[in-house]
Structure 1
Amino acid sequence: MTPSGFICLRTHHIENLKLQFEEYRHQATGAIHYHLAGEDENNVFLVAFLTVPEDSTGIAHILEHTTLCGSQRYPVRDPFFMMTRRSLNTFMNAFTGSDWTAYPFASQNVKDFDNLLRVYLDAVFFPLLDPLDIAQEGCRLEFETPDDSHAPLVYRGVVFNEMKGAMSSSSQVLSQKLNEALFPTITYHYNSGGDPEIIPQLTPSQLKAFHASHYHPSNAIFMTYGCLPASHHQALFQECVLTHFHALPHRIFVPNEQRFSSPQVVHARYAVDKPELARKTHLVTAWLLNEITDARAVLNVQLLSDILLDNSASPLRYALESCEFADSPSSLCGFDDSTHEIFFSCGLEGTDAEYLTAFETLVNDVLMDVVEHGVPQEQVESVLHQMELQQREITGDGMPYGLHVLFNALVPALHGADPIPFLDIDPLLQALREDCQRPDFIPQLVKDLLLNNAHRVTLVMSPDPDLAQQQLQAEKEKLAQLKAQLSPAERQAIIEQAAILKARQEKIDNPDILPKVTVDDIPDTLKLPESYQRDILHYPATWFAQGTNGLVYQTIIMQLPQLPPELVDLLPIYCEFITELGCAGESYLDTAARQAAVTGGLNARLSVRCGVDDVQQTHLFFALEGKALARHQADLSQLLHDTLMSVRFDELERLQELMVQLRSSIDSHLTHRGHQLAMTAAASGFSAAAAWHHRWNGIPHVYLVRELEQNMANKTALIHFSQQLAAIHELLLNAPRQFLIISEEEHHAPIAHDLAQIWHSIPVSLTDFSPFKTIPVKQKMEKIWQLNTQVNFCAKAYPAVAIQHRDAPALTVLGDFLRNGFLHRAIREQGGAYGASASYHADAGCFRFFSFRDPLLMETLQAFDQSLIWLQNNTHNEQALEEAILGVIGRIDQPLSPSGEANSTFFAQLNGRTPEQRREFRRRVLKVTITDLQRVAMTYLQAHFASTVVLSSAHFLAEVPELTFTREVL
């Protein structure tokens, strides 16, 4: 037993991950600690619990928020957000799943890691759970004018508004309704995030009881990753937590669902704000399968899901994509392993309820065909190849790689599974490969898991244009009824609670209670990967030697050519489609199968950035990129060549399918992207790059895709569209071309040889090349877009400077300073929005404010302005400045995956951000003063420069007639 009371149960080396797995149990409490020891300095911690709601009050979700609002050792109001700015963390967050809650963070600095660990442990196990924090983070009653009992009664609260925003998305509603139907008796029947209609029923006593029963070391799993030894973590676990607890006699568990004796059909509704209801219904069918604790059974399901749905050549995906009575496959296609018993689902979007039988027949026919005829062995091999590639790839561009690895085992481990098979899957993959040699293996999986499985639900979710108004009216009537029942004393209590909460929110806590790092702890310099040049024939090529665990990444980069005006706005669609079509004389189905067999996928994108010393100068590039295992590097090179040189735009039916799918995807993600759309629009008048971001990624692109999709039914229009894409392609082929290669150094020589063999016969003629020209842009925008949402997305932007300008570092720090000191409190805590911030956006040459899932509108726009008054009219301390600087440096220094760091470095340099320039910018950030912040705000953030954009609903807009901006329906 270790000095901290842990017993080492076993160790296991995971060769493919280059990690040592260690399992420990705390003798006194039974707490489990899994440690993954490796050389990575970006150390990761998480503690997780099974949290099993028995209603849709959002109890686990609200507890996650409130847990981070102060604890016994750190009794400040907001230690989580205070630590985000007193830290050099590379990741900080908390997550609520369907039956679990996790609190992870990561840091490369040992002092910082230990600081965060102490705060997290105290927050999780010893939270204050102050009723005022519960009211702020969950839901509370207030009068619309907080001190006026004659005003209407309203609900306030961060989670309440977060879930209103989430449930404005049809895909979120679809997922929740499917869970309700598939799990009629256990915890997954309920909305773990919280149903806005049910959230107000939660009481503080219920929340505290839930914490006491669920947040105990006996119900906990501690997980760590990185170069710090397990004993280092365990000493703090013991000191901060475990010495205060004893073992519980029983652990929390989730039972299996009671199985249906026959398949079920369930009908549901979702809100739309447009009267056109034709082909807006969702049809989804799902089967409940095996427990997540059986790693081999989970792998079987993943294999079957990928065989059926992985790409356009997969039998079920092909049937759904080519179906004549629907727009596109459902967003819920695939297997879900986030629950104790996993499930598999497939479906259609953009159809009608009358096609229910046809849909069920379509799916059944595909499954029966697989049972009768099997699937080609090369398709099975492709899926096994993809599974191997996913296991090998070192990720880390969205979250730290170590956290990604821990999450692979977290949910099974919480349900009592051995985590090793979920981390070291090579033995299971080998066994799976052997089973796949049997012709009857896949057909038998289809029969056992799907065709002979009576626990199947088909959900018919239809649009209802009246539902949103009905929900709003029901909430108003409920609040009016509550108000009518209030006694004078109760009304006064509501007023007093609002005043007390506001005073608490405005109170400045003593930050010295919390540990911190300082600028003295910041590393001296920015670490960037180094490259070298080695041309491929007459093509420039940049090479990075990175530890990619046997993967090769290749990118072809081309300067964007001048395009005729009628083609310019089609560029993002061209990028979406070029990798989804046939090439080299093969159909898109054959090409999709080829991609799956040799790569981890291809992707095409545009790179648009401002110049380093002129916001009106724009760098524009097209990139076609792919990745593969090293043994397939030549196949990857050939596939990239064939895609670029011989893509087929003559597959008209495929183009029509892709356009319908694109329109469906864009429409279903509008509320997810609301704040991004608003910010992009607000900034669009301040630089050429910002204008193109708006046209290619923002609201104009939404309108264009809708218009094109409607025109695709016309054969003449479809042919013209095909010709337009081909015209873009021809112009691109005449553009200057270069290569980026990222892999281990040992693979460079064979890659160079194969690239030279593949490209040697391609002539280069650039005599007629004209680069894409942009014109300066300088105009304000004041605009409102109306869409179906229960919350608002507000943005305000100001023209600023290029990144090389002396004021750019101060503008960068200013964003964090305003968020930390004013916006977070005013808009999130007091206003109830899920998020709000400000930032300098160098690639668009502007400074932006935004709010996300916001119940307020005019008040938020006013808060943006008030933050600038607060900045100028108050005396600010150096600690607040240091915290803002730490936040900026933390983002600059945040590590990516090995391939991501090389890719980022290359494209930064391509756009003028050399390593020297980036390091100099970092040094200048460290020298920013409060005077600098006030000066740049006064210089650039002037009211007459500002553009303002709001995405809102008809209901909200009806209540703000004073907002006289131009309005459009989105």
Structure 2
Amino acid sequence: MNLEIGMTLHGFRVESAENLEEIDGRAYTLRHTASGARLLFLENDDENKAFSIAFKTPPADSTGVFHILEHSVLCGSDKFPVKEPFVNLIKSSMQTFLNAMTFSDKTMYPVASTNEQDLLNLMDVYMDAVLHPAIYEKRAIFEQEGWHYEIDGPDEPLRYNGVVYNEMKGALSDPDSVLYNALSAALFPDTAYAHESGGDPAVIPELTYEQFLDEHARHYRLDNSYIVLYGDMNIDRMLAFLDERYLSEEQKPAGAPNPLELQAPVVNLDVVKQMETAPENAAMGLGYVIGRASDRLRVIATDILADVLMGSNEAPLKKALLKAGIADDVDGYLIDAQLQPALFVMTKGSKPDTADAFCETVEQTARMLVDEGFDPERIEASLARAEFLLRERDFGTADGVVLAMSAMAGWLYDDSMATDYLRFEDAFAELRRRAPEGYFENLLREIVLENDHRALAILEPVESLDENCEEARLAAVRETMDEADIESVMDEVAALRRLQEDPDSPEALATLPLLTLDDIAEAPVQPAWERIDSTPLPCLYHEVPTRGIDYVFAYFDMGRLSFEDLPYATLLAMLLGKLDTRGHSAEELDKLTQTYLGSLRFFVDVYASEQDADAISPKFVIATSSLSENIAHAVDLPLEIRSSTNFDNPEKIRDILTQTRIRMEQGYATAGNSSALLRCSSYVSKSALIREQLSGVDFYRFLKSLLADFDARFPALVERLRSTAQRIFAVDGTIVSFTGAPEDRSRFWELAGTLELDRSDEPNALVVPEPRVLNEAFIVPADVCFAAKGYNARLEGISYEGSWQVASKALSYDYLWNEVRVKGGAYGAGFRALRSGAMQFHSYRDPNLDETIARFDGAAAWLASFDPDESEMRGYIISSVAGMDAPVKPRDMARRQDGDFFCERPAGYREKTREQLLETTPGKLRRHGEELARVIGHDVRCAFGNRGIIEGSSSDYEVIDLLG
């Protein structure tokens, strides 16, 4: 229906209406008169509809109360009195996105679905959760999600447990996060931004249950709320639902929300934050407040400025800092989505006593650029890249969710700015007009050289912080406890365990809104693709609408490399596009790429045939995207880089390799589950063993060894890179994937020909060693653990079918959620069964290791006795189908279909898998439990994590100090 300014519909008054070309639709702002709730409706034809409700929640301390509330309100409500409605929705809805997020000054609850009735169901549960949570009746929710004491006996040590507590122990194992927090506190010492909104583990136990409830009452109120609706929907139905069900109810009186205030300018240049971490994690950060969120043009311009200054190793400020030898890596970025946005310049691997040189280099480089002026081509390159990405709208998740978050970057601070952070076309035009007039030079001068609101923070690694360590705090508490206190803690934990283990009653489960199988739409029609051999090189062509963008993936066979050569292929991918070529300097290439291409990436990938496990095909991939009018550049630039890169630059290569080493080390500490899963797979799978050589621990060790003796090995490295490139880049085995309009495809092949490739006389040389089970535990600088266990079911003669998707859903969101997350306190856990045969368990930010592995071991027996009722089984099937049917962006669709080709998946396999999924029965899942027992019985496992947890394990691991 048409909404017009001034009209009132279901208690909502329409305050504004505008066309918004950036979303191909219209935007309306509305206000619910009775409750004061704000609503933004983004109307377009996107079938992936979305809803979000957010609250302004600036913290007054670092107890993480709003983070704990974010978790806790989704643990049951008045209308839906089940323990985990959030998990029930994941298990039973057609959601394409379902989560909640705590930011530095707001908390958001977004959902998305392609089914309108399903979206209404999700809205119903989320609205009741945030407005009427069970937290007021169930203190145990606070203890489970926040924190509580545990103790095993009168003579045992006291410990903390809680999901958010353990999550933040993992999050703050990351030096980048610790430095960010220190710099933010230095810039905003008198405001909410001085606090860790997620919660500091040293402070979280200071939060009381009474404070927790008070914060909810004062902040989760409708006049403090922001609702976003997005997509192709019946807005009359949605507004009526919100008004009748939730917005017209009488609101309980409560105190005022915490204020969100401006920070008066401060200069704070002497902040030192100590952290228990490795010496190589020393870091520094400079922060500059750029103004207010209300100045949208200045915020966009600063984002562009950050890219111009620091977007690559060739950007002038990053180049100057790397040349000065101040740190191993540096980065710069805009901090927006807050009342006072800021520009941060951050280092990694800072050298000792370089803080003064850091500040001087930043200021001297800024002064030089202000005096001499920016290279206009670099300004235009950054503008073009940013504009391309915004127009492409490939956010990696539901568009409506990302747009809701973007809207909040302005709307939270000014009711008139609901759409300011969604619009960008006029701003880019204005910046292009102003750039020749010195706009960016003046902006840099104001931000860096004339700023009276700035800070410097230094992260100083230390061996231990004894006076603040968790053990010391707990020991102090333990000293104050008598026998009765200890008994009380044990009783409370036992009561909590009973509540966690008690199943929801049938009556409670019946309150949840559920879809029926009839609500599942027909399977979406898969876009057509074909192999074309009449082109100069074999072509996989994908007929997918792309909004005028072309996507090209050139796949080169790596079978002519030996197994020992594989790490050099990864090095090659890391270096191409970042070094000089015969025709251009690295800086010129950087500008050309950003100006004319949406993306240019070089990477390696591995495909294994589903028909023959020994038929493994590693590929070197050159991936390009561009507007159709720039297709010539999508041909010429990759060709020039591939064929004429000059590797004789040890300084630049050392910088790139060092930056990669740092990223890998930080990844082990913050997301070690991914590494544990890959390593675990490599114990039994040749394709995973290849991935290990290309990107896993084996590659990290290779990289670390290379850097340790870089100067001596550099000449041989150059020759090895050239030899590797020669064997990879040949006509033999090369296939090009193209996604775009037919006329663009024709134009591409006219320009590309055979990509100037020759035939190779090199024979296939790739011989993969037999995998060996190693069961390793890697010590990394983290306060938590990441565990993985699994095997390849093919080796047990177990075939993949669609019902394994249902089993994965049940194991992940029932058994593992309750056992590893709820009881064990880990932030996450899951099980996956892949078409390749891999069946694996993992945990994420986990305070345990042996206990988690034991819970993995119990999964088969649980599945073998699984007896869901009809509605629960239906929910698992519906949610699994939704995962298969979720909309896919053009780039991802092309990659998926390319994978189908290289993995030799049979035609119609998705349709067959979907049919199997729909036909899944409880009996089939119980039989999978028996099969899973055979997989688990092989006891193949791997872990990354905290030294104390790993060395305290009673299991047989090969313990390795990975970074030592």
Q: TM-score, normalised by structure 2?
A: 0.94
Partner SS state of residue 421, structure 1:
coil
Shift of 1:565: 3.9
Partner SS state of residue 670, structure 2:
coil
Q: Which residue of 2 aligns with 1:303?
A: 304
Where does 1:380-459 land on structure 2 (aligned, <5 Å)?
A: 380-396=379-395, 398-416=396-414, 417-438=416-437, 440-459=438-457
Q: Which residue of 1 aligns with 2:78?
A: 72
Partner SS state of residue 61, structure 2:
coil
Question: Is the 8 Å Cα contact of residues 634 and 755 (structure 1) preserved in structure 2?
Answer: no
Where does 1:330-345 land on structure 2 (aligned, <5 Å)?
A: 330=331, 333-345=332-344
Distance 1:872 1:907, change over 3 A: closer
Task: Determine the C-alpha separation between the residues in 1 that align with 2:924 and 2:772.
Answer: 26
Partner SS state of residue 55, structure 1:
coil
Measured against aligned partners, the alpha-carbon deviations of 1:817-840 in whole angstroms (never above 9, x if no partner) come to 222332111111111010111111
Partner SS state of residue 95, structure 2:
coil
Task: Determine the C-alpha separation between the residues in 1 that align with 2:951 and 2:683.
Answer: 27
Does residue 816 of the first structure (1) align with residue 780 of the second (2)?
A: no
Q: Which residue of 1 aligns with 2:325?
A: 324
Does residue 752 of the first structure (1) align with residue 741 of the second (2)?
A: no
Distance 1:226 1:822, change over 3 A: same
Counterpart residue identity of residue 192, structure 1:
S
Distance 1:395 1:280, change over 3 A: closer
Measured against aligned partners, the alpha-carbon deviations of 1:831-882 in whole angstroms (never above 9, x if no partner) come to 1010111111334x32101111111121111111122222335645454443
Partner SS state of residue 371, structure 2:
helix
Question: Is the 8 Å Cα contact of residues 66 and 134 (structure 1) preserved in structure 2?
Answer: yes
Question: Is the 8 Å Cα contact of residues 301 and 440 (structure 2) preserved in structure 1?
Answer: no
Counterpart residue identity of residue 13, structure 2:
I
Distance 1:560 1:552, change over 3 A: same
Q: Which residue of 1 aligns with 2:519?
A: 521
Task: Determine the C-alpha separation between the residues in 1 that align with 2:103 and 2:684.
Answer: 40
Q: Which deviates more from structure 2 when the two are superposed, residues 190-199 or residues 796-805?
A: 796-805
Q: Which residue of 2 aligns with 1:91?
A: 97
Distance 1:758 1:562, change over 3 A: closer
Partner SS state of residue 797, structure 1:
strand
Distance 1:909 1:521, change over 3 A: farther
Distance 1:83 1:175, change over 3 A: same
1:918 to 897, 901, 910: 910
Shift of 1:505: 0.7
Task: Determine the C-alpha separation between the residues in 2 that align with 1:841 and 1:323.
Answer: 48
Shift of 1:676: 1.0
Counterpart residue identity of residue 528, structure 2:
E
Partner SS state of residue 795, structure 1:
strand
Q: Which deviates more from structure 2 when the two are superposed, residues 448-457 or residues 88-97?
A: 448-457
Question: Is the 8 Å Cα contact of residues 97 and 192 (structure 1) preserved in structure 2?
Answer: yes
Shift of 1:639: 1.0
Measured against aligned partners, the alpha-carbon deviations of 1:94-149 in whole angstroms (never above 9, x if no partner) come to 00001110000111112211111110110011111121001000000121x2xx34
Counterpart residue identity of residue 369, structure 2:
V
1:949 to 931, 936, 942: 942
Does residue 959 of the first structure (1) align with residue 964 of the second (2)?
A: no
Q: Which deviates more from structure 2 when the two are superposed, residues 823-832 or residues 757-766?
A: 757-766
Q: Which residue of 1 aligns with 2:142?
A: 134
Question: Is the 8 Å Cα contact of residues 547 and 898 (structure 1) preserved in structure 2?
Answer: yes
Q: Which residue of 2 aligns with 1:563?
A: 561
Q: Which residue of 2 aligns with 1:376?
A: 375
1:499 to 494, 509, 528: 494
1:762 to 756, 761, 766: 756
1:931 to 923, 935, 938: 923
Question: Is the 8 Å Cα contact of residues 560 and 772 (structure 1) preserved in structure 2?
Answer: no
Task: Determine the C-alpha separation between the residues in 1 that align with 2:208 and 2:914.
Answer: 47
Counterpart residue identity of residue 181, structure 1:
A
Q: Which residue of 2 aligns with 1:21?
A: 27
Q: Which residue of 2 aligns with 1:176?
A: 181
Question: Is the 8 Å Cα contact of residues 60 and 258 (structure 2) preserved in structure 1?
Answer: no
Task: Determine the C-alpha separation between the residues in 1 that align with 2:579 and 2:896.
Answer: 28
Q: Which deviates more from structure 2 when the two are superposed, residues 123-132 or residues 900-909?
A: 900-909
Task: Determine the C-alpha separation between the residues in 2 that align with 1:19 and 1:724.
Answer: 53
Question: Is the 8 Å Cα contact of residues 615 and 802 (structure 1) preserved in structure 2?
Answer: no
2:542 to 544, 547, 550: 544
Question: Is the 8 Å Cα contact of residues 802 and 808 (structure 1) preserved in structure 2?
Answer: no
Q: Which residue of 2 aligns with 1:281?
A: 282
Counterpart residue identity of residue 399, structure 1:
T
Counterpart residue identity of residue 53, structure 1:
P
Task: Determine the C-alpha separation between the residues in 2 that align with 1:759 and 1:419.
Answer: 49
Shift of 1:665: 1.7
1:195 to 191, 200, 212: 200
Task: Determine the C-alpha separation between the residues in 2 that align with 1:251 and 1:497.
Answer: 32
Distance 1:244 1:876, change over 3 A: closer
Counterpart residue identity of residue 540, structure 2:
T
Gap runs ≥5 in structure 1: none
Matched residue pairs, number? 947
Distance 1:565 1:839, change over 3 A: closer
Task: Determine the C-alpha separation between the residues in 2 that align with 1:425 and 1:630.
Answer: 21
Where does 1:726-737 land on structure 2 (aligned, <5 Å)?
A: 726-734=722-730, 735-737=732-734
Q: Which residue of 2 aligns with 1:351?
A: 350
Task: Determine the C-alpha separation between the residues in 2 that align with 1:133 and 1:244.
Answer: 25
Counterpart residue identity of residue 860, structure 1:
T
Q: CA RMSD in A?
A: 2.3
Question: Is the 8 Å Cα contact of residues 505 and 825 (structure 1) preserved in structure 2?
Answer: yes
1:628 to 596, 608, 626: 626
Counterpart residue identity of residue 345, structure 2:
C
Counterpart residue identity of residue 854, structure 1:
D
Shift of 1:494: 2.0
Question: Is the 8 Å Cα contact of residues 557 and 734 (structure 2) preserved in structure 1?
Answer: yes
Q: Which residue of 1 aligns with 2:291?
A: 290
Partner SS state of residue 241, structure 2:
helix
Gap runs ≥5 in structure 2: 1-6
Shift of 1:373: 0.4
Partner SS state of residue 244, structure 2:
helix
Q: Which deviates more from structure 2 when the two are superposed, residues 525-534 or residues 783-792?
A: 525-534
Counterpart residue identity of residue 401, structure 1:
D
Question: Is the 8 Å Cα contact of residues 787 and 951 (structure 1) preserved in structure 2?
Answer: yes
Task: Determine the C-alpha separation between the residues in 2 that align with 1:667 and 1:775.
Answer: 26
Counterpart residue identity of residue 582, structure 1:
D
Partner SS state of residue 121, structure 2:
helix
Measured against aligned partners, the alpha-carbon deviations of 1:229-269 in whole angstroms (never above 9, x if no partner) come to 33222112112210114699987652111212x45221112
Where does 1:535-934 land on structure 2 (aligned, <5 Å)?
A: 537-712=535-710, 714=711, 716-734=712-730, 735-743=732-740, 745=741, 748-759=742-753, 762=756, 764-766=758-760, 768=761, 770-771=763-764, 773-775=766-768, 777=770, 779-801=772-794, 806-843=799-836, 845-873=837-865, 875-934=867-926
Shift of 1:584: 4.1
Task: Determine the C-alpha separation between the residues in 2 that align with 1:236 and 1:708.
Answer: 62
Question: Is the 8 Å Cα contact of residues 56 and 190 (structure 1) preserved in structure 2?
Answer: yes
Task: Determine the C-alpha separation between the residues in 2 that align with 1:547 and 1:32.
Answer: 35
Q: Which residue of 2 aligns with 1:478?
A: 473
Partner SS state of residue 248, structure 2:
helix
Shift of 1:944: 4.0
2:64 to 49, 53, 58: 58
Q: Which deviates more from structure 2 when the two are superposed, residues 90-99 or residues 927-936?
A: 927-936
Distance 1:807 1:425, change over 3 A: closer
Distance 1:640 1:958, change over 3 A: closer
Task: Determine the C-alpha separation between the residues in 2 that align with 1:497 and 1:687.
Answer: 45
Task: Determine the C-alpha separation between the residues in 2 that align with 1:151 and 1:465.
Answer: 26
Distance 1:912 1:760, change over 3 A: closer
Identity of aligned residues (%): 25
